[in-house]
A = this chain, B = another copy of it.
Amino acid sequence: MADEEVVRDLLDDARALISEGDWGKAVALLTALHPADLADLVLSLEEERRREFLDHLPTDITAQLFEYAEDDELRDLIRGVGVADLPAVLEEAEADVAADVIQQLGRDDREETLAALDRDEVTDLLQYSDESAGGIMSTGFVSLPEDVTVQQAIDYLRVLRPPSEKAYYIYVVDRDQRLQGTVSIRDLIVSSPRTTLGEITQHDVHAVTTGTDQEQVARTLQRYNLMAVPVVDEEGRLEGVTSADDLFDVAQEEATEDMYRMVGLDEDESTSNRLLRAAWLRLPWLVVNLGTAFVATFILIAFNGTVERAAILFAFAPAIANQAGVTGTQTSTIMVRALALGEARRSLAWIVVREAFIGMGNGFVVGLLLAGVGLAVEQNLTLSLILLVSMTGASTLAAPIGQLVPIALKVMRADPALSSSIFVTMFTDGFSYLFCVVLGAALISRLQA
């Protein structure tokens, strides 16, 4: 059994050998490792050593590293291998892994590598968009016609020897490669040898088309508790298969993307990005955010006399804005997640009314607390009343607005998560200060008492 400590010791030994430059021994030691662990080691080396190490690694093992690396780690591995040696490595990789790697290359390198590689299946895969079922599917599936017998299917598998994670289902197809259904390997084993596949085919298959968004494919897998989802073209012909392990990565990526986008981060953001690149990626939405923040600023400029004459009120106003911001961000988080998981099934009116009530109730409770503190500080009932009304009002508006922003983004065919918290706080800041300045201006004489 794999023992984490054993792996760690092995890695330490290997690192020592590498720093001594004993490549032969290091490689011999490390090829026993799981490719996922080896990939971690290789990626942790500094660039020069990584290149040297990959120079000494057999190409079939390097190919496996590509399979276990994350998207943002692929580029480091490519640089380590060198574009010139890439075709030899990709020759040994699964077609979908090779396609993912080639997608990371610049246009010229891409064409040269594809030409040197000369694998049609890889070229075919590259036509699909990155985030579609076609872009993540594997072409290493087992398909057979339905008039084949169980014994023939078993003989076929014995000759083909597909990797075990690819041989979970046999896909049953007609003469034109159109998907008819599946036979699990278990069914093969428990059926009599002369049965035909057609007799034991499960026709109730949840297939997707090559253009289906990867998030939708992951939802299909999750909804029906499947281990794999077949991918067909517009005519129903089987083109590939996406399996649970691919879709697991997809689900994690999509969740990260949503979390990042909500706060205005680029999905390429990573703790390993170079400083300038990280700063540059964040700048655009920060500038947009400044634009949205001006809404509150211009309200305060317009009512500058009120701020001057009731400065104490504007010591409390940021707390109201902060609170409304949290309220709105909470409800927009709920909506973004519900939209991502396909759980949002309520009508717009229902959402607005429900959230407005929740926001009002909680705003009133929190407003009472704020008003109490206000009274303790200033002994002015009018001030406390303004704080209570502003907090309740801002919170009543903030809760439904938080849910409506992602819905509005979706209606405009943008990602519902897209910087939703930035847009939400534009509204919540705006409303909060508006309540304070309008009420403050109207009751200014009582505030100055």
Contact = CB atoms under 8 A, between A and B. Distances in A.
A21 interface: no
Interface of A is mostly: helix
Interface residues of A, number: 124
B362 A282 contact: yes
Interface in A198-221: 203-207, 218, 221
Contacts of A433: 318
Nearest to A153: B189
Given A186-B157, A327-B286, A346-B271, A165 B225 contact: yes
**How many copies of this kind of chain does the complex include?**
2
Given A304-B312, A322-B296, A263 B429 contact: no
Contacts of A335: 271
A227 interface: yes
Contact of A289 (B243, B275, B323, B357): B323
B297 A318 contact: yes
A58 interface: no
B307 A358 contact: no
Interface in A213-257: 218, 221-227, 236, 243-245, 247-249, 251-252, 255-256
A358 B275 contact: yes
A244 B222 contact: no
B322 A312 contact: no
B337 A256 contact: yes
A338 B271 contact: yes
A29 interface: no
Interface stretch (A46-54, A104-112, A122-130, A365-373): A365-373
A112 to B, nearest CB: 30
Contacts of A205: 1-2
18 contacts: A1-B180, A1-B207, A157-B186, A164-B185, A185-B186, A221-B245, A227-B227, A259-B333, A263-B333, A265-B333, A271-B351, A278-B358, A282-B362, A283-B366, A286-B366, A289-B323, A290-B369, A298-B315
Given A36-B225, A244-B244, A259-B337, 8 more contacts: A1-B180, A1-B236, A164-B187, A168-B227, A279-B361, A290-B323, A293-B318, A300-B314
